[in-house]
Every structure is written in C-alpha cells, then in structure tokens.
Structure 1
Amino acid sequence: MTQPSTPIGCVRPRKFLSFPSLAKTPLMLLHKITLTDFGAYQGEQFLNLKTRPGRPIILIGGLNGCGKTTLLDAIQLVLYGARARTSGRGNRSYENYLRESINRQADPKHAHIVLEFSTIVEGEERLYKVRRSWEVNGKTVREFLTVLINGELDLVISDNWADHIEDLLPLEAASLFFFDGEKIESLADPDRAAPVIESAVYALLGVNTVEQLRTDLLALQRRQKISEEDKQILKKIHDLEKQIEEARQVSADIKQKQAGLSEQILQAQDIFDKADESFASAGGSLYEQRAELEAEENQLREQLKNVSDSLASNTAAGPLPLLLLSEQITSVKQQVDKEHAAMQAAQVLDTLSQRDHQLLSSISNVIPADGLAAIERFLNEDRRERAVDAEIPRVLNFPSDALTQLASIKEVLQGEAARARELVAEAMRLRERLNLVERKLAGVPDKQTIAERIVARDNARDHVTLLVGALQRLDEERDTVLRRIDLLNADRERAYKGRAQKVAETEHAARIITYADRMRSTLEKFGEALLQRHISRLEVAVLDSFNRLMRKNGLVSDLRIDIEKFMITLVGPDDNELDPARLSAGERQLLAVSLLWGLARVAGNHLPSVIDTPLGRLDSRHREHLVQRYFPHASHQVLLLSTDEEIDEYLFSKLRPSIAHTYTLVHDDTTFTTTVEPGYWWTAGAPHVA
C-alpha cells in the first residue's frame, strides 16, 4: 500500500489536460463494490454489479436512511477522494469527513472501499481494482490508496491516480452519470440547469479540447529561446497564471456557496409561503386592511350623511312636495288658461263693438235702409257668437305677468324629481358599500388572535430577505472576481504577445509564432463551429428524450439552447415560447432527466449510470414512463437506488425483464447498521421488510 503524497483535504495539482470527449471514452463497466465499516455498513458488505446482455439494471432497494445515498457516495469517494462530490460532506474538511464516515461500531477505527471495474484502453480490456482505506490514529487520519491493474499492483498509477481517473472518467462527467433525486430537482430549474449544460458541453463533448490546443500553442511560443528580458516576461506570465488560478478557485468556492444559499432560499421561501398561507387563512388579509376599511367606513358614513342632508334640505324643503298636487296644479293651469282666453275674447268683443258702430255710422248715408239693416244684423250675430267665449266666469283672476311661471312649474318639478332620484340611488349605493365594509370589519380578527401568525410570517420573510441579500452579495463578489479574471487574462494575453515579439528574433521562432497565431485563430473558429454543432445535436437529443418520457404528446414541439447563456427555451405547439413554470413539478423533473439523458446520448453513453431516489414527485404515469422508456436505455449499466414506494411491486414487474441483480439494504434500528441482502421486496428469497 502507498500513502498519498499530499496531505488530507488537499487536492493534488492536475496535469494541464482537457477532459476527453465521451464520444472517445472507452466503455466502462462496474464489476463489484465492497464496503467495510463505511457509514452505516458494518463489517464487510459487497454487491455484484455485473450485468448481462439485455439486462443492464442493478436494482438496490432500501427504505429512507438505510444507506442508499451512502452507497452512491462510496463509489464517488473511492474514485475521487477529496474531490468527490459526496452528499454527506457538507462544509466539513476532508479529514473530518473521513473520520465521521467510519462505522461507529468499528474497532479499530478503520474503513475501506474497494471498487472493481473494467474499461477498454487502446483496444485492450483492463481490469481495475481500486482500494481506498483510512484509519484514525489519535487526532490524525491516514489515508491509503492502491490500484491493481489486471491483478498486479501499479505503484505509478496509485501515486498519480487523481490524474489517471480524469483520463478514464472525468469528475465533471461523473456528476452527470452519478446523480440523485435532489440533483434532478435542481436541474428542473432552467436557471440552475444552464451551468450544467455549459460544463457538460465543454467538458464532456470535447469543446474545451480546442481551447486547450490554443493554450498549448501559446506554451509552444513560450518555450522558444529566451533572453533575460524574456525571463522577466515569463515570470510575469507565471505570476499572472497563478493569480488567474487563485481567482478561479475563489470563483468556484463562491459558486458552491451560491448553490448552497439557493437551496436554503428555496427552503426558507417554502416556510414563508406556509406561514403566509396560515396568516391568510386566519383572516390576515382583512387584518392588514383594517385601517383602510375603517377609513373607508368613515368616508362612506360622511358621504351618506351629505346625501341625506341634500335630500332633506335641498329637495324636501324645496318645490318637490308640489309633486303631490300634480292633478290640482293641472286643473289650476287649465282654469287660468280658460279665464285668460275669456279675458282676451272680451277685449276683442269690445273692440269689435266700437268698430261696428263706426262702420254703420260711416255707411248709413250710402247704403239703403234694408241693406244697412242686414249688415247690422250680421255684425250683431257675430258679436253674440264671440260673446260665448267671453262669458266664462273669472274665479282665479290669475295675473297675466305670472303666466310664464305657471307654465314652467312642470319642468321645474320634473328636474327636482330627477335630482331626488339620483340622490336616492346614490344613498342606496353608499348604504350597500357601507354594509359590505361593515361585514368585512366584523370578520377582522383581533390582534391577540393573529399575533403569533404575524410574528411567524414576519420572521420567515426576514429570513428569506436575509438569505436573498447574502446571495446578492455573493453574486456581486463573484462578478468582481470574474471581472478580475478577465483583466488578468487580458494582461496575460498582452504579455504573451509581448514575448512573442521577442521570440521572433530568429526566423525559426518567428515562423513558429506566425503559424501558432494562425492556428490559434483557426482553432477559435473551429471551436465556435464545434460548439454550435454539439448544441444542435443536444437540442435534438433532449427534445427526443423529453417526448419519449412525457405522457402529453405535443406539449413541447421544439427545444432550443442559447449558445451564450446555455439557457433552455421550450416551444409549445403554437410556436410560442412555453414558460417552464407552466409545467408541473413532475414534468420539470422529466425535463431534467431528459437533459441528463440527452447529454449522455450525445456524448456516447459509454459510462454506467448510478441513480439515487429517481422517482421523487412524479405521478404514476410519469413513473411508468421512466421505468419503461428510460431506465432500460439510460446506459449499458444502470444502478437504481430506490425505496419500496418508488419502485413498487407493479413497477418492479415492468422493470424485471431488464434487471440483472436485485439487492435490499436492511437496516437494524437497534445497532444503526445496514447489511446488504440479495433480492428485492417482492422477489423470492428477499428478506422480510415490516
């Protein structure tokens, strides 16, 4: 056994290598994993992971807390050590994590994990047996790593395993093939999925190989014969690269903190939503509106009083009551009209009498007596007929100058009536609104009743605000670091250019620099084209995977990935963008699974998949689609870590034709230890689970 050459918790500096594209990654197959006193696993526990053609699935069942996630952590820990992204580590140091992962019953305090797997290297199969062990000695933890290849100990690879495993299975690749339900939940958010897509496209599909080649060309320029001035430039370049690496590490640390804070914000927001819902159900909304309701009540009462006063003083005390005498007023007007007409007829009769007298006097000497008598009789008859209209008795003797007022009284009363109706309608509207406000005020809870819910909601809101503020500060801090990285990169680029000019003292060096610059420019264009090609393939693969898993055919007609921000845009059947918020929680989970599946398909799908608690918040139909359409085809080897409620008896029957082995993790609640038993809950020979 060999000891690691670096202290516990430190990451050995890696060679400056690019992640290989999975399209060229050899086929990897897990054979066996053995855990000895690791976590809840007491003593030696092992699982045979070999698969058969057409049966790629290893189904491992266990109730919550039995050690499913621990098993996933063990695979990552044995391969990556301090760099492993285990779920149980948190913010602890690597040394403390190893110390606390030893089973509490173990004596001496020692644990180890052995993983056996095979892969094809240069056309030949290699069988690896990686054993990572550690022991507690007082306050220190000693870790050991040995690697056997085809049964023989390889000390060189054991000492340089961190670099070797990156060639076989890059850590970024493993994060997309070893995942749990929580990771699927996080990828269901398009904003949080963007960094995963970006890292996958660059690291898994070989895009960053192009960038590495460009960097290697710069290194080629730097290796030319150097002068004393060149040495100073190289020292500056070295210092800049060191600062860039340190700034990148700071950025990565901040990004990890951002991810943790984002999870805390989601949890805190959920708590606030529940507190707000409790506050609302207790009449909180009415309580908050109490002051407004009371002010509105006072205003309505004042308005109602003003309307009532207007009805009493301006209407009832005016001419409006005369409407009660409408018939009498009409009779009076008719009588006045008759008397006025009689008076006018009398005046006309008097005038005619004078005219007739003058007329007869004027013609008495010219017209014979019998003709004059006939005219006189005619005139007398005419006056008698006109005298009929003048004989109406004058009872009222209504003055002539008041006739206009009498004629307009009807219009005045109609106007007053219309005004009165408006005031009555306004009073009724105000009364109805006042009744509504009074009912709301009656439903307002008192402060003592709702005080606790107010405090709970305010505390929850303050907590969310505090976390959001902390996240914003981290965003600003990371933006500052990223700007510093950009400035350092620009300084390094200028330094490279400055040195390139110095190196061009010889024809050979100048030719190298020229060709290197041309090649770097060509590689830059090639990298852009390669990125576009991979994005296009990934869009097709993710959309096809999503449509395979969905039960709603035609929900999404297209899927696009932004080549700059790596954000996913969904397009509905109407060719309009589909807001991911319109998808159900289960549909968003299927979208996350489709993203992982699509990445694996585009990358070549040459790595085993380890999936912990995969069915989460999915409904029965979505679960059945995953079981029938995804798990058997996710990879050539699929380790499923499931509870009895996720892969139940019905889904097990659907999955059974694709299963190579089944195991159940049995937990002893008295000793808090877990053992591995063959079989699943509903298979013959499986252990009984209460």
Structure 2
Amino acid sequence: MLLHNITLRDFGAYRGEQRLDLRTEPGRPIVLIGGLNGCGKTTLLDAIQLVLYGPKADCSGRGSRPYNDYLQQCINREADPAEGASIALEFSITIEGEEHYYRVVRNWYFTGNKTLREFLTVLVDGEFSRSLTEGWADHVETILPLDVATLFFFDGEKIEELADPRSAARVIESAIHSLLGVSAVERLRQLLKTLENRQRLSEADQDVLDKIRKQELELEQATQAASDAHQLMAAARSELFVRQKELGDIEDKFEQAGGKEYERRKELEADRNRVKNQAVATNKALIFLAEGPLPLLLLQDQLTGVKKQAELEKEADDASRFLGVLQERDEWLLQQITDELPASARSVLKRKLTGDRKKRAAAADLEHSLGLPHDALLQLSALDQALASDSARARDLLKEAADIAEHLDVAQQRVEAVPDDEFIGGLVAERQTAIDRMAVAQVQFQRGENLHAEAVARRQRLEEELDRAHRSRRAAEWRSAWLERVVKYSEKTRGTLEQLGDDLLAHHIENVEAAVLHSFNTLMRKQGLIRDIQINTDDKFALVLTGPDGETIDPGRLSAGERQLLAVSLLWGLAKTAGNRLPSVIDTPLGRLDSKHREHLVDRYFPKAGRQVLLLSTDEEIDEKLLGRLKPYLSHTYRLVHDDKTFTTSVEPGYWWTAGAAHVA
C-alpha cells in the first residue's frame, strides 16, 4: 500500500482546503512534515485514520466521546457548519500483481434541522464503487486491518506506551496474529466452526422467506420515498428557474435605470472631488506666480527702455569718473614729448587729446537721468531670467488647468448622470429581495437534490440486498444435499489449521525476535547492552531481555531513552518481518532521546522504516543538523504554519531550513 496524497477541508485546525503530496521516489522514502506543538501534526495523523476507519479509528482527540460529537468538534471553528468538513485520501494497492488506485472521501456537515450527516465515497481506478462504499468498513480490513494500522500509524505517545513491557506484550501478540497471518488461520478455523454451526441449524428457509418479505416492503417504501424526493426536487428546480428569471428581469431594469452607475456613485463622487482638489491646487499655484514678478511681462517695452537708460547712465558715469584722470594724463604726456616733436606735431596731438576729452564729456552729459543704481543692469538681467522661468511654469500650469477643467466637466457629468435615491431606491430594494429569494431557492434545490440522491441510493441498495436474498433462497434449496459432507470435511480441516497455526506462530516468533534484536543493536549507542531478546508465548507474549552476562534484564532498569528505542525496535522488527509493505506514519518520535540516539534514528531507522515514511516532527526534533543528515532520503518537505490570531493552520512547501522548496534534492 502506498499513499499518494491527502486533502483536508476545514478539518480541525486546517482552514479551507489543504493538500499534501505523499508520494515518494526510489531511494527517497521520507516525506518530512514540520510543525510546532499545537499546529496540527497529530490532527494529520488522526485524519488518515479517520478517513479509513471512521467510528473505529483510534483518534487521539476523541477519548470516550460519541462519534458524532467527535465529528462535530473536528469541523473548523471558522467554517460554515452547513458546509462541514471533509478528508480525501488517495492510495494504491497491488492485488494479484495488478495495481489499483483508490480515492476515499469522508465528509460530514449539519443539515437544516441541526442534524449531523456523514457520507463516505469510494472510487477505484477513477470509478465510483457502490459496493465498496457500502461495505468499506469490512473491505478496509482486508487492505489494512485496524490492529495492523496501529503499528504503522503511531506517535510519540504510543512509543512511550510501548516502552511499558505490558503494553509491548499486547502489541506483540496483536501484531503477530494480525500482521503475520496467524490470526488469519484462527479466523479461518472460526469461520469453519461457524459454517458447521450454521449448517446444523434446522430449517432456515422460513427465516429467508420472512427476510425477503421484509426487504420487499422496505424496497416499496424506498421507491415511494425516491419518487416523493424527485417531485420535491422538480418543484425546487422550477422555483429556482422562476427566481432566476425574476432576478434577470430586475437586473435588466436596474442596469437600464443607471443601476451600475448608482452602485459606483461614491466612486464617481470621489473621482470628481479629487479633480476639484487638483483644480484648486493648480489655481493656487497660478496665484502664487502672479504674486511674483510675472505681471511685469505686461511692461516688456518699458523694461526694454529702462535697460537702455541703464546702459546710457552707466556709460555717463564711467565717462565722468575718467575725465579728470585723462586731462592729467594728457598734460603729463605733452610735457614729456615737448623737446622730441616739432611744434606742428605737438599742436596736432594736443587738438586730438582735447577733442577726445570733449567727446567723453559730451557722453557724460546726459539730457535725462533717472538716477538708476550702478548695478541696475545686473538686476534687470536677473529679472529677465526670473520672468523666463515663471513664464514657462505659468504656461505649464495653464495647460494643466485646462486639462483638469475638461476632466472635471466629464466627472461632473458622470455624477449628475447617477440616478438619485428617490428614483432608483425602489429598484434597489426589489433587486435585493430577488437576490435573497434566488439564494433561498438555490439552497432548497440543493437540498432536494441531496435528498433525492440519498433516496435513490437507498432504493438501489435495497434492490441489491433483495436480489442477494433471492439467490440465498435458491441456494438453500440444493444446499441440504451436500450439508453433511461439508460438516465432515470442515472438522478435519479445522484440526489441520490448528496445527498449522501453532507451527506458523513458532516460526514468526523466531523471526520477530531476531529482527527486534538486530533493530535494537542498530539504534543503540551502547553496543552489547542486550545480547538476546525473546518472546515468551507462555507469559502473554512478554519480552524477555538477556544481558551480556546471560542474566535476565528487567526492562524497568533501562533509561527512558533506551526503553523508547526498544519500543521503536519492536515496531521496526515487526515491520521488517512483515516485509515493510505498508506506509509508516511517525509523529514526534524523538522526545526523550539524546543527540547520539537521535542521529542513529535519523541515519539508521527512518530511511529504512519502509518504502514510504511520513515523518511528523517539531523544529527541535529534526533540527537543521539532523535535516542535513536526512536530506538524501527526502522526497517532499512541508511546514504546518499556525495563525495564532485565527487559530488555524495552513500547509506550506518546505521545512524550516528549506522553506519554499517542496522537493529537497
């Protein structure tokens, strides 16, 4: 048997749909699932057992409560009780050399009258199997007997329990009889005994006829119930069609009256207000510019004139400052060259110098002077630059204001197109009423469908049972002829089976002893602590431990960690003797072990515990160091993430130190 995947929907702490791929690869038999305490590791283990065994499942949180009360508690607190919860498990088994694919779905929910209903569906190779669905409680025992499952689906508490020699004795007895086929021989003997007793019963024909009459009456009632359910479903379907058409007509009216815009009124008003705010901000920016030098652009000609006047006044100022200097220079120059030049040349030079001074004096003598400051030209240049920058900014703001005004007009038109409450209020109420009526009609139709399906399924089941009863009646007519011969050979066969059972038990006891001893020595840090392990069938299958000195060792003398390893060795040895053909689900197995023993379990047990091992661990058990040792054997890793606010758990790929990687390779 190999598990493929499990899907939980609103089961326990698991909110919504959570799916885990449990398939493994050759050489990588381990699926590691990490979770802190209280995150749902044990809940996951319970889910596997619950979907397979239903009321018989040995779930940790059930205790002595009634099954329905336990199912009610398993519905996630955030889920709708009418939707309930479900578990779907997919696995494959090989029967007579041919692999078959199973999908088992168990779901439960509350009906309208607060009654809890549970449904089981079994599909084989993708096809629904009515016979397996109805007889699943018996069929699952042929695949994985409940007694055997407890040896392969176990948690830390169960290991602690097995560390008690008395509990270990019960497990050994149960495992050898169930897992290794000894109980099959005994059951066969009991079946033969039952067969003999039934054959010796006096006339059973009348009982068969009474049973047939009772089944025919039940079938008649079931047929009528199916017919009534069909009529109810048809009426609910008609009502649903009427409500759908009613809602469609109102939706058309609502849309034509501007209902879509009405629903978006707040959004449209918000958009309009946003554009208004943008317009106000743009206007403020323009006003701010207008408060600066920007209005001077209206006096461009005057500014040009002022600039020319500033240039003239600057020249006049320069000329007036240099006239005195030039006259002194000219007189000094004429004195220096008096003896070197002729009189005519000196006269010409003197006229030229006097003319240059007169020209400069004329430039310094302005007709009009505004008395501008000496740095007026620099100030006017700075003003030109400021005006150029503000002018460009003003143009951008004006364009932006025009765009915003256009957008504002469109937004205002949309708001004005929204119908008011007085106009459309009646349609809104009428539409909501139609929606509510259709929702009720949908629920009633769904309920009618479920009731009809249940009635049809019951009728078909009764038809099959009645058909089998008729076949039994026909068989009874010719059975009496060979009745005596069957009883005779059955008695002889029971004697043979009794001897076979004794021989088979002795053979398996020897193999289990050797396998458990080898497993214990493989896992132990102290080699040679136990020389021999025997199973005393005369003392209720008690374990007898022998030390290196040949003396019997009381298991109570072992440390807590050593007793835990002994319990693991017991489970491992039983599994190896049975061929490791079943998956192992191990929950929090390293509780009381020291680091060396933990390493031994990681290196020597988990990779060899079976073809498929689901390992549920906390971050302290399989820590980052042990994860590295386990990594070559991992097919998938998952992490159970718990939300402390909503008290719900979700499944995420990857372990704590491999988060985000579903496959660790």
- Structure 2 length normalisation: TM-score? 0.56
Is 1:72 matched up with 2:72? Answer: no
Aligned letter for 2:135?
N
1:209 to 184, 194, 198: 184
Aligned Cα RMSD in Å? 2.2
2:518 paired residue number: 544
Which one-letter code corresponds to 1:52 in the other structure?
A: E
What CA distance in whole angstroms lies between the structure 1 residues aligned with 2:100 and 2:511?
A: 32
Partner of 1:517: 491
Structure 2 counterpart of 1:77, which letter?
A: L
- Provide Cα deviations, 1:261-318, integer angstroms capped at 9, x if missing partner: xxxxxxxxxxxxxxxxxxxxxxxxxxxxxxxxxxxxxxxxxxxxxxxxxxxxxxxxxx
Q: What corresponds to 2:219 in structure 1?
A: none
Contact kept, 8 Å, 1:181 with 1:613, in 2: the verdict is yes
The corresponding residue for 2:569 is 594
Q: Which residue of 1 aligns with 2:99?
A: 125
Pair 1:73–1:510, CA change in 2 (3 A): closer
One-letter identity of the residue aligned with 1:560: Q
SS in 1 for 2:599: helix
Question: CA 1:531/1:45 → structure 2, altered by over 3 Å: closer, same or farther?
Answer: same
> Judging changes above 3 Å, is the alpha-carbon distance between structure 1 residues 507 and 678 closer, same or farther for their aligned structure 2 residues?
closer
Structure 2 distance, partners of 1:575, 1:189, is 22
Q: 1:512 to 1:678 in 2, by over 3 A?
A: closer
Counterpart CA distance in 2 for 1:558 and 1:591 is: 13
Q: Which residue of 2 is the match for residue 566 of structure 1?
A: 541
CA contact (8 A) 2:33 2:615 kept: yes
Matches within 5 A, 1:235-384: none
1:243-278 CA deviation, whole Å, 9 max, x = no partner? xxxxxxxxxxxxxxxxxxxxxxxxxxxxxxxxxxxx
Contact in 2 for aligned 1:664/1:686 (Cα 8 Å): no
Conserved 8 A contact 1:664-1:676: yes
Q: Residue 658 of structure 2 aligns to a residue in which SS?
A: coil
Aligned-pair distance for 1:581? 1.7
Counterpart contact for 2:561–2:592, Cα < 8 Å: yes
Q: 1:435-454 alignment to 2 at 5 Å?
A: none
2: CA distance between counterparts of 1:511 and 1:52?
A: 53
- What's the offset of the Cα at 1:152? 1.3
Provide the rounded CA distance (Å) in 1 between the counterparts of 2:93 and 2:481. Answer: 47
Shift of 1:223: 4.5
Equivalent-residue separation in structure 1 for 2:595 and 2:96 (angstroms): 45
Q: Distance in 2 between matches of 1:229 and 1:652?
A: 65
Aligned residue in 2 for 1:650: 625
Alignment pair present for 1:35 and 2:13: no
Q: Distance in 1 between matches of 2:135 and 2:532?
A: 45
Q: Which residue of 2 aligns with 1:144?
A: 119
Residue segments in structure 1 that go unaligned for 5+ positions in a row: 1-27, 233-505
Could you list the per-position Cα deviations for residues 177-198 of structure 1 after superposition, in whole angstroms to 9, with x for gaps in the alignment?
A: 0000000000001111111111
* Separation of aligned partners in 2, 1:666 and 1:507: 67
Q: What's 2:396 paired with?
A: none
Q: Which of 567, 585, 593 is the equivalent residue of 2:560? A: 585
- Check the 8 A contact 1:532/1:563 in 2, yes or no: no
Q: Distance in 2 between matches of 1:142 and 1:230?
A: 37
Q: CA contact under 8 A between 2:199 and 2:487: conserved in structure 1? A: no
1:607–1:636 Cα contact (<8 Å) kept: yes
Deviations 1:211-248 (A, max 9, x none): 2222233234335465579999xxxxxxxxxxxxxxxx
- Select the residue among 138, 146, 155 that pairs with 1:171: 146
Contact 1:102–1:109 (CA<8 Å) still a contact in 2? no
- Residue identity in the other structure for 1:534: H
Please say if residues 677 and 686 of structure 1, whose CA atoms lie closer than 8 Å, have aligned partners that are also in contact: no
* Counterpart AA for 2:94: I
Q: 1:225 to 1:548 in 2, by over 3 A?
A: closer
The yes-or-no answer on 1:90 pairing with 2:67 is: no
Give the alignment of 1:153-232 within 5 angstroms. 153-224=128-199, 227=202
| Residues in 2 aligned to 1:151 and 1:509: alpha-carbon distance in whole angstroms | 42
> 1:563, CA displacement in angstroms?
1.2
Q: 1:218 to 1:612 in 2, by over 3 A?
A: same
Match of 2:17 among 32, 44, 51: 44
CA deviation vs aligned residue, 1:613-665 (integer Å, no higher than 9, x gap): 01011000010000000000001000000000000001000000000000000
Q: Is the 8 A contact 1:77 1:86 kept in 2?
A: yes
In structure 1, distance between residues paired with 2:482 and 2:101: 46
Report what 2:210 is aligned to: none
Q: Describe the shift of the 1:525–1:617 C-alpha distance in structure 2 as closer, same or farther (beyond 3 A).
A: same
> 1:601, 1:208 → 2: CA distance?
18
Provide Cα deviations, 1:136-177, integer angstroms capped at 9, x if missing partner.
236621001111111111111111111111111111111100
Q: CA deviation at 1:510?
A: 6.0
The residue identity in structure 1 corresponding to 2:638 is: Y
**Equivalent residue of 2:88, what SS?**
strand
Amino acid of the residue matched to residue 146 of structure 2? L
Q: How does 1:595-674 map to 2 (within 5 A)?
A: 595-674=570-649
Change (3 A) 1:584 1:151: same
Q: Is the 8 A contact 1:37 1:112 kept in 2?
A: yes
User: In the TM superposition, what is the alpha-carbon distance from 1:590 to its structure 2 partner?
Assistant: 0.3
Cα distance in 2, alignment partners of residues 651 and 130 from structure 1: 35
Q: Is the 8 A contact 2:653 2:659 kept in 1?
A: no
Partners of 1:208 and 1:63 in 2: CA distance: 39
Does the aligned pair in 1 maintain the 2:55–2:67 contact within 8 Å? yes
Q: Is the 8 A contact 2:45 2:585 kept in 1?
A: yes
Q: Find the counterpart in structure 2 of residue 557 from structure 1.
A: 531
Distance 1:676 1:511, change over 3 A: closer
One-letter amino acid matched to 1:134: W
Letter in 1 for 2:63: G
Structure 1 residues 684 and 142: CA distance shift in structure 2, 3 A:
closer
Post-superposition offset of 1:61: 0.3
Q: Work out the percentage of aligned pairs sharing the same amino acid.
A: 65
1:478 is matched with which residue?
A: none
SS of equivalent to 1:615: coil
> Does structure 2 conserve the Cα–Cα contact (< 8 Å) formed by 1:146 and 1:158?
yes
The 3 A distance-change label for structure 1 pair 508 and 120 is closer
Distance 1:225 1:589 in 2: 52
- TM-score using structure 1 length: 0.54
Residue in 1 that maps onto 2:352: none
Code of the aligned partner of 1:119: I
**Unaligned regions of 5+ residues in structure 2, if any?**
208-479
Q: Which whole-Å deviations, capped at 9, do the CAs of 1:556-581 have from their partners, x for residues lacking one?
A: 00001011310001000001101112
1:535-560 residue CA offsets vs partner (Å, 9 max, x unmatched): 11110110011011001110000001
Distance 1:99 1:47 in 2: 23
Answering whether residue 87 of structure 2 is matched by residue 134 of structure 1, we say: no
Contact in 1 for aligned 2:588/2:616 (Cα 8 Å): yes
Give, in whole Å, the separation in 2 of the partners of 1:680 and 1:230: 64
Whole-angstrom distance in 2 between the partners of 1:229 and 1:646: 62
Contact kept, 8 Å, 2:516 with 2:573, in 1: the verdict is yes
